[in-house]
Amino acid sequence: MATITRSTITNVLAKQGILIAFVLFIIGFGLANSRFLAVDNVLGVIRSSAILGVIALGVTFVVISGNLDLSVGSMMSFSTIVVLDLHDKLGPLMAIPAMFALTMCLGAFIGFLVGYLKLNSLIVTLGMLSAIHGLTLTWSGGKNMDIADKQGTWFGIFGRGDVLGIPVPILFFALLAIVLSILLARTPFGRKVYAVGGNGTAATFSGIPRARIVFLSYVISSFCVACAGLLQASRSLGSQNTVGQGLELEVLAAVILGGASLLGGAGTVFKTVIGVLILGFIQNGLLLVGLAFYVQYVVTWVIIILAVWLDIAAKRGRFLSPIA
């Protein structure tokens, strides 16, 4: 009979710490409120988390490559406003690809500044956060956007439709997660992303085009933001011009909660999905147990810190740092 050693438990926690924490959260809230695990509630939580999750998938590539992207919230506001505005002017068939093109141009510009000009990603994306917000206000004239004929358009299928009882945003999120997971884990490009984030200098001397990899990671991130903007616009068929404000911090929290390292070189798409779901289910669970909304922010922060601490402690085999 095999003996379970301390090192075995440590290895399991190191590899699956976040997943175990997620399961414990689900069990805990399920015991606290019977409605928590109801099918309608579970689908509702995943559906409401899909927009955050879609953005987080792209940011995962950026973080693994050793960079940050704080512009995704403003960029989502921009993409949402643009597709809504162009919907009435050009029709949805033209508005959607036009919005994707414009949003990905913004991502390409950021990728050029960080990848090829080697500017600091924190400073660049923080500056672009304000610049894109200004661009959004300029495009909208400072006004919110609404589709004129909400009953006569098929545009709502992306955010409001369902297939065999499963909401389209969930299917969209799942499909994109599968595709990007394969891209990151099973292709030469994905291995190069890890190499650049792990040791950019060594990657360059190994012949990996570091600038191009960083550039493409931002393009992928902007593509995901455009997808999120499409879902947001389709769900409400209208939007405030600040709809994505502050979303970049939640996205980064989900990515880091999923195990991606801010230093680069570590992380997976699957664990980012788990990080997104943890945030979504924590907020939903706290709501169901009756906590006031302002208390939820504090409790959510505590749970996130605790989960990350336990994950890091499991990886190093002790709860405190060796130099503490």
Whether 255 maps to a domain, the answer reads no
The DSSP secondary-structure symbol of 113 reads I
In terms of DSSP bridges, do strands 238-239 and 145-146 run parallel, antiparallel, or are they unpaired? Answer: antiparallel
Longest dimension (CA), the chain: 71
Quick one: 212 exposed, middle or buried, by C-beta within 10 A (0-12, 13-18, 19+)? middle
Whether 228 maps to a domain, the answer reads yes
Which residues form the domain of 87?
Answer: 53-248+260-269
What's the pTM value of the predicted model, to 2 decimals?
Answer: 0.88
Residues 254 and 307: beta-carbon distance below 8 Å: no
Q: Chain-centre distance of CA 311, in angstroms?
A: 20
Whether 316 maps to a domain, the answer reads no
Residues 281 and 25: beta-carbon distance below 8 Å: yes
Whether 140 maps to a domain, the answer reads yes
Whether 36 maps to a domain, the answer reads no
Please give the single-letter amino acid code of residue 313.
A
**φ and ψ at 242, to 5 degrees?**
-120, 25
Whether 19 maps to a domain, the answer reads no
Total domain count, the chain: 1
Q: What is the pLDDT along the chain (324 residues), one digit of tens a residue?
A: 455 665 555 555 555 666 777 788 788 888 888 888 888 888 988 998 999 999 999 999 999 999 999 999 999 999 999 999 999 888 989 999 999 999 999 999 999 999 999 999 999 999 999 999 999 999 988 888 888 878 878 898 998 888 888 999 999 999 999 999 999 999 999 999 999 998 888 888 888 999 999 999 999 999 999 999 999 999 988 888 888 888 888 898 888 888 787 778 888 999 899 889 888 888 888 888 777 777 767 776 776 676 667 656 655 655 565 555
Whether 234 maps to a domain, the answer reads yes
Whether 216 maps to a domain, the answer reads yes
Q: Residue 80's closest CA among 171, 166, 158, 170?
A: 158
